[in-house]
Amino acid sequence: MIAITPMKDRDISAVVEIERRCFKFPKPEAVFREDEHKYLVARDENKIVGYIGVEKILDEVHIINMAVHPDVRGQGVGKRLMQHVLNDEEVFFLEVRASNETAKNIYQRYGFQVISTRKAYYPDGEDAYVMRRIPFQ
Ligand SMILES: CC(C)(COP(=O)(O)OP(=O)(O)OC[C@H]1O[C@@H](n2cnc3c(N)ncnc32)[C@H](O)[C@@H]1OP(=O)(O)O)[C@@H](O)C(=O)NCCC(=O)NCCS
């Protein structure tokens, strides 16, 4: 059974391992240590299988990142993470690679819409879509 809990020191090495497997330009461990309070982990028994980072920026909530271990994708862990952080009081936004159809699908499913493009946002020059979720729209 999946449990979603705040990330602790002891979870960081597993989170960094998932980050490395999931992203072309993974964030270093130091960033997760510094931002520890912003992250939640998905745990299956004792194994960390995914994580999500969120931060409040002015009056909006920014989803920094979300990732699920490649071995357990397509089993609803991403949906559990999204359901845990979303609410119908606040506005949420995030950036996603223009080519990341899987992530765009899950975000659209939860009511996010593309509102703008950040040109060459990623180090390899790919654009990011900015997606926003406004409650009850
Ligand atoms: C995006 C990600 C977190 C989804 O996690 P997941 O646990 O596999 O997702 P779920 O099983 O909960 O599926 C949720 C929804 O995502 C979409 N989805 C999942 N896998 C998909 C695939 N292979 N193709 C298209 N859409 C897909 C679907 O909308 C799905 O809902 P449905 O099963 O009801 O159709 C995971 O694919 C991942 O870690 N990707 C690499 C990192 C990444 O791109 N993160 C997002 C950065 S912005």
pLDDT in tens, 47-81: 999 999 999 999 899 999 999 999 999 999 999 99
Which pLDDT tens digit goes with each residue over 7-23? 999 999 999 999 999 99
pLDDT tens column, 91-129: 999 999 999 999 999 999 999 999 999 999 999 999 999
* pLDDT averaged over every residue in the chain: 96
So where are the chain's domains? 2-133
Extract the tokens encoding 102. Answer: 């899987």
CATH of 2-133, one of 1.10.1740.10, 2.70.70.10, 3.40.630.30, 3.40.50.1970: 3.40.630.30
Q: For atom 5 of ligand 1, which residue has the closest CA? A: 78
Mean pLDDT of 38-54: 97
Point out the ligand 1 atom lying closest to the alpha carbon of residue 97.
48
- Enter the pTM of the model: 0.95
d(CA 131, CA 137): 14
Instruction: Say yes or no to pLDDT of 137 above 90.
Output: no
C-beta 73 within 6 A of ligand 1: yes
For ligand 1, atom 27, the nearest C-alpha belongs to 102
As a whole number of Å, the end-to-end CA separation of the chain is: 32
Calculate ∠ Cα 132-107-64, nearest 5°: 70
Q: Is the CB of 56 under 6 A from ligand 1?
A: no
